[in-house]
Amino acid sequence: AEVQKHRMQQQQRDHQQQPGEAEPLTPTYNITTNGLTELHDDLSNYIDGHTPEGSKADSAVSSFYLDIQPSPDQSGLDINGIKPEPICDYTPASGFFPYCSFTNGETSPTVSMAELEHLAQNISKSHMETCQYLREELQQITWQTFLQEEIENYQNKQREVMWQLCAVKITEAIQYVVEFAKRIDGFMELCQNDQIVLLKAGSLEVVFIRMCRAFDSQNNTVYFDGKYASPEVFKSLGCEDFISFVFEFGKSLCSMHLTEDEIALFSAFVLMSADRSWLQEKVKIEKLQQKIQLALQHVLQKNHREDGILTKLICKVSTLRALCGRH
């Protein structure tokens, strides 16, 4: 109820904007009933190369913003009709594992080892170029936790203010995920409809995957607003069960001790989910996702990971869907 009240107040303020008043400089977003960021239909602005300030990137960061040629036949797309993804069964018994199945009954294409190596390197490079923080830097400041006085300051914030702060942080993280997706081989060849659908459905899931890089399982803290924060920092949000779920997922994924290459490939695999609603070229995305999964399997084997690690990762997809769909 409080979140709904917050949304209504925001909408009223938007409607009261005076004629000629400047538009907000930051990307627009909604706070959904679960408190998470919901990207507006102008997500294509990110894809088309606009900075968070709403203007074209300057030369210093131009490499992060790549233009996309608009694809044909976009008139029939109803972005507002895209609903949260259902929680799907990704356990091995579901038939999803170990490889994506093609809807038209085709068998999996033969992929050379060289092609898998190239794809793995491309995705890993894309990941490292679009991470907000270096893992080494984060590990060096895990001792910088919020003092009790600072924790109480967060706890005493109005719920609306704390939601706004969290939403801004998530929006910033999502922008990096968008850039990550744009650098993955094959993503830019998808029609713009499917690019938008995949990003709207999967960006937040990738944010939660990347969170394990900034999670300290020993202290049960995560990097937030300049320091490492415990669950108590988020008390004013009024959703302790959800925050607990987020921290449990972060701790669980962190316990798998994934390398940057493995995080990158798992992120790409989740992002290129061919079961999203409203996709126009499902088979094309299925083939791309399958190649990514094969590349992930190849890297896991090369890293001498234990048997069953790929199964555990695939099963995390259901947890991610539940996490992002939880109210």
Instruction: Read off the CATH number of the domain in which 142 is found.
Output: 1.10.565.10
Which is higher by pLDDT, 69 or 20? 20
Average pLDDT score, the chain: 78
Mean pLDDT score, 39-47: 53
Could you tell me if residue 68 is inside a domain?
A: no
Mean pLDDT score, 218-231: 97
What DSSP string describes 218-251?
TTTEEEETTEEE-GGGGGGGS-HHHHHHHHHHHH
Confidence category of residue 48, pLDDT binned at 50, 70, 90: low
What DSSP string describes 3-49?
HHHHHHHHHHHHHTPPTTPPPPSSPPEEE-TTS-EEE-TTHHHHHHT
CA angle (50 as vertex; 48, 51 as ends), nearest 5: 150
pLDDT digits (tens, 9 = 90+) for 139-151: 899 999 999 999 9
pLDDT digits (tens, 9 = 90+) for 268-287: 999 999 999 999 999 999 99
Strand 227-229 to 215-216 pairing: unpaired
pLDDT digits (tens, 9 = 90+) for 56-69: 333 332 332 233 33
Could you tell me if residue 303 is inside a domain?
A: yes
Could you tell me if residue 290 is inside a domain?
A: yes
Mean pLDDT score, 164-174: 97
Could you tell me if residue 225 is inside a domain?
A: yes
Which is higher by pLDDT, 30 or 320? 320
> Considering its fold, how many domains does the chain have in total?
1
Which segments of 52-158 does DSSP mark as H helices, in order?
113-129, 135-140, 148-155
Q: What are the φ and ψ backbone dihedral angles of 248, each rounded to 5 degrees?
A: -65, -40
Could you tell me if residue 47 is inside a domain?
A: no
Domain residue limits at 77: 73-325
Which is higher by pLDDT, 215 or 77? 215
At 80 the pLDDT is 39
Count of beta carbons in the 10 Å neighbourhood of residue 20: 5
Residue 120 has pLDDT above 70, yes or no: yes
Which is higher by pLDDT, 11 or 233? 233
Could you tell me if residue 152 is inside a domain?
A: yes
Cα 140–chain centre separation: 24
Tokens of 27: 């990307």
Confidence category of residue 326, pLDDT binned at 50, 70, 90: confident
Are 181 and 271 in contact, with CB atoms under 8 Å apart?
Answer: yes
Could you tell me if residue 91 is inside a domain?
A: yes
pLDDT digits (tens, 9 = 90+) for 75-113: 343 333 333 344 334 444 444 433 333 333 343 457 899
Which conformational region is residue 105 in: left (phi greater than 0), alpha (psi within -120 to 50 degrees), or beta? Answer: left
Sign of CA dihedral 139, 140, 145, 150: negative
At 49 the pLDDT is 55
Could you tell me if residue 126 is inside a domain?
A: yes
